[in-house]
Structure 1
Amino acid sequence: MGAAGLRVLLHSVRYEVLPAKATEDKVLAHVPRDVVVTVTASPVKGLEPTLDLAGRLAGHGYRVVPHVPARLLRDDGHVKEVVDRLREVGVDDVFVPAGDADPPAGTYEGALPVLRQLSELGRPFARVGVTGYPESHPLIHDDVTIQAMWDKREHATYIVSNLCFDPRVLGEWIARIRRRDVTLPVYVGVAGPVQRAKLLAMATKIGVGESTRFLTKHASWFVRFAAPGGYAPERLLSRTEEVLTAPSAGVAGLHLFTFNQIAETERWRRALLDRLGG
């Protein structure tokens, strides 16, 4: 793998974390201030833990990106409340997925109406991310997800891809969205050096209902992690380096799913950078 291309990707990372009790301490202990931290939101626990952790991490000097799922927002007034709260603590970047809450908390079924509402509020955030699906969404046809990115492009500033373990699929997806003139920069979603046993433990801790949903939606992840030889993120990166670093791909960096294995993820990144001489 080309060392220069991989170094660039490893220096342009985002760490996705869950707002658990120990997350703040883990981030403070292991994550440099130049690494962006994104904070997920739970359909079971609601937005409050996300907003609270985002505010605390922003106070520690991190660039924080809270996830604000549309289906956790009650109405336009709630959107305004969340915007005001985040702006007050200096957050200028949000990630707006549709979310998994079923039923929704209010009037929003998907992300686009929330994105439009943010635009009507004067675009209060400098950066707004939306979701991309290299591997098929379990409920939505691929063409629909790409059309959705097209519809969102005037309100968003970047795309975060969901996890993909297949280099070919990832490369084809990037080519497809570019052929459809979706030009937003992409942060490619990559699982960190997660251990299957710890992933299962994490899934259990996030709540019975949510754990069931998590395991049902992502059963293929566990198969990947349990495969002979295990999962190694550097193998995926080595097989996709040419695609990810091509100027036409528009890849801005990596979005690392830590599954709250924060220390392990940062150790892996630093060790790989050391091996690459940078």
Structure 2
Amino acid sequence: MTGKDVPGLIEAKDSIPQGTRINVTFLGNEDLEMRVAASKAVLDHGFIPVPHISARRLSSQDQLEEFLGRLQEVGASEQVFAVGGDPAEPEGPYPDSLSVIQTGLLQKYGVKNVSIAGYPEGHPDIDKDLLARHLEDKSAALKEQGLDAVILTQFAFDTDPVMAWIDSVRSKGIETTIRIGTPGPAGIKRLISFARRFGVGANAMIVKKYGFSLTNLMGTAGPDRFVGDLSSLLAADPASGDVKLHFYTFGGLLATADWAREYTAAQS
């Protein structure tokens, strides 16, 4: 959710299982008060806030410490998602999430678990080898600092690159829980727009495999086929380790929560 999504959270709260992790974004058009208020709202409604720390949006160490301090004050600092962020040029001393982790400040403000980013299909602006090296470096840094970790990936439409990437991560000895980014149900045009923005494969063959067609952009689509196929592939590959899902709620918190509840009921 974004800092503006508190009304959507309240609308969806009865459809989301208590204790669910809900990420809170760190966008350029949001301010400190919005981010902290949203994280507090998540906590107040019985969920686990995972506020984002966008390294390249931080103008100074003081800003980082102010944010962490405010989160700690409202009881929302135990879990964070350290991510590089969108700006082409860093706005302060932190060019990437690794540099934030290496400050050693996270533990000072009560952080216990840090999510870090994974990119099964790469990143449009970052070299693939550099991404892999940084994932190893961040995993090692968190382990050295005694912090628990989760690898949270960009969303995907295709299970093939996801499974290949999981195998690659595990081959490096990284046993961290992986949460595969999964688009919640949303309009097809909206899904394609996000895919193009973030460099996610969305050609005709891939989206047909996911369960919709590029010739019919007016409809909506859910991740039923993707989740079912991924589940089968993971079950057949014990070496994949602990893998869960992370939903990107492009169609809204309530729509995603309702889909998850209905899908789970159908499977059982």
Q: Retained in 1: the 8 A contact 2:8–2:254?
A: no
Identity of aligned pairs, percent?
Answer: 25
| Alignment pair present for 1:159 and 2:151 | yes
CA distance in 2, matches of 1:101, 1:260: 25
Preserved contact between residue 18 and residue 47 of structure 2 (Cα < 8 Å): yes
Whether the 8 Å contact between 1:93 and 1:125 is mirrored in structure 2 is: yes
Give the equivalent residue in structure 2 for 1:130.
116
Secondary structure of 2:186's counterpart equals: coil
**Aligned-residue CA RMSD in angstroms?**
2.7
Counterpart position of 1:140: 126
**What amino acid is the match of 1:20?**
K
- Normalised by the length of structure 2, the TM-score is 0.82
Of structures 1 and 2, the one with the larger relative CO (CA 8 A, separation 6+) is: 1
Which residue identity is paired with 1:129?
A: S
Task: Trace 1:63-82 onto structure 2 (pairs within 5 A).
Answer: 63-82=48-67
Which residues in structure 2 correspond to 1:70-219 (within 5 Å)? Answer: 70-91=55-76, 92-118=78-104, 121-122=107-108, 124-153=110-139, 154-155=141-142, 157-196=149-188, 216-217=197-198
Offset at residue 43 of structure 1 (A): 2.6
The number of residue pairs the alignment matches comes to 250
Alignment pair present for 1:20 and 2:4: yes
Q: Does 1:38 align with 2:23?
A: yes
Structure 1 gaps, min length 5 = 1-16, 204-210
1:221/1:258 Cα in 2 relative to 1: closer, same or farther (>3 Å)?
A: farther
The residue type paired with residue 44 of structure 2 is G
Contact 1:43/1:101 (8 A) holds in 2: no
Encode CA deviations 1:126-153: one digit per residue, 9 max, x unaligned. 1101000001210112221111010001
Paired amino acid for 1:242: S
Task: Using structure 1 for the length normalisation, give the TM-score.
Answer: 0.79
1:270 offset after TM fit, Å? Answer: 1.3
User: What CA distance in whole angstroms lies between the structure 2 residues aligned with 1:133 and 1:170?
Assistant: 9
Contact 1:94–1:125 under 8 Å retained in 2? yes
Q: Work out the CA distance in 1 between the residues paired with 2:114 and 2:25.
A: 15
Q: Deviations over 1:98-136 (max 9, x none)?
A: 000243331111111101124575472111010000012
Check if 1:232 corresponds to 2:222. Answer: yes
Q: Which residue of 1 is the match for residue 145 of structure 2?
A: none
Matched, 1:244 2:229: no
- In 2, are the aligned partners of 1:149 and 1:182 still within 8 Å (CA)? no
